Structure 1
Amino acid sequence: MQKALLCRLMVWSTFVTLCNAQCYFMPNMYTPGDLSNECKDLDGVTHPLSSKWKTENCEECSCGQDGISCCNIAAIPMNYDTIKCQKIFNKETCSYTVVEQKDPGKTCFVSGWAI
């Protein structure tokens, strides 16, 4: 039983390390007696309880009873030749490409990505 628990803990900790998600939480600001079924984001836009949306900053957010949770959805290139290559972010597709600095038409090999 302990071996199985230890094994699960090791797998979980490895998964958490690899994911490295960039998330944050904004608690709802309630006044006493307020039973609101919505969340208000930083831009002042209200969202229904249990709804999900994507922001223009490539974050996926959700409205819960306690507030808004948001996480980055763009995978960031981590292991590539930073001297020879550069990363370019496409905000419309929420994705990066890694290309040669001297010849942007050529892509570079990336061995690791983080979210």
Structure 2
Amino acid sequence: ELVCESSCIDPYDGNRHPSGSKWNTDHCMRCDCLGGEMECCHRYSGIAIGPVGCKAVVNPETCRYELYRINNPSEPCF
């Protein structure tokens, strides 16, 4: 009996992952490969709502929301 192992290609970095594997991407995504089908979801969670005058931005290194002032995006809201 011939059995072909399925795999998934990560659309974010082009790497091939075997069926049954799970991995985190550099784009804050958590992906699973099962039977050649891939499913990904965001690794960050929580509420992206801050005080008036602030906006939530995902930090790509920590995969967490950070709040910054709308009128000065380099200044964090505390």
TM-score (ref. length: structure 1): 0.50
Identity score, percent = 28
Instruction: Give the corresponding residue for 1:85.
Output: 54
Q: Distance in 1 between matches of 2:60 and 2:7?
A: 28
Q: Distance in 2 between matches of 1:47 and 1:61?
A: 10
Aligned runs of 1:24-43 on 2, under 5 Å?
35-42=4-11, 43=13
Structure 2: runs of 5+ lacking an equivalent: none
Helix, strand or coil at the partner of 1:77: coil
Helix, strand or coil at the partner of 1:61: strand
Helix, strand or coil at the partner of 2:65: strand
Please identify which structure carries the higher helix content: 1
Q: Is the 8 A contact 1:77 1:98 kept in 2?
A: no
Instruction: Give the corresponding residue for 1:25.
Output: none
Give me the CA root mean square deviation: 2.6
Structure 1: runs of 5+ lacking an equivalent: 1-32, 108-115
Give the 3 Å change call, closer, same or farther, for CA 105–39 of structure 1 in structure 2.
closer
Question: Between Structure 1 and Structure 2, how many residues are aligned?
Answer: 74
Please identify which structure carries the higher strand content: 2
TM-score (ref. length: structure 2): 0.69
Pick the aligned partner of 2:44 from 47, 67, 74.
74
| Superimposed CA distance per residue, residues 85-104 of structure 1 (whole angstroms, 9 cap, x where no aligned partner) | 12232101011111445683
Instruction: Give the corresponding residue for 2:64.
Output: 95
Q: Distance in 2 between matches of 1:99 and 1:40?
A: 35
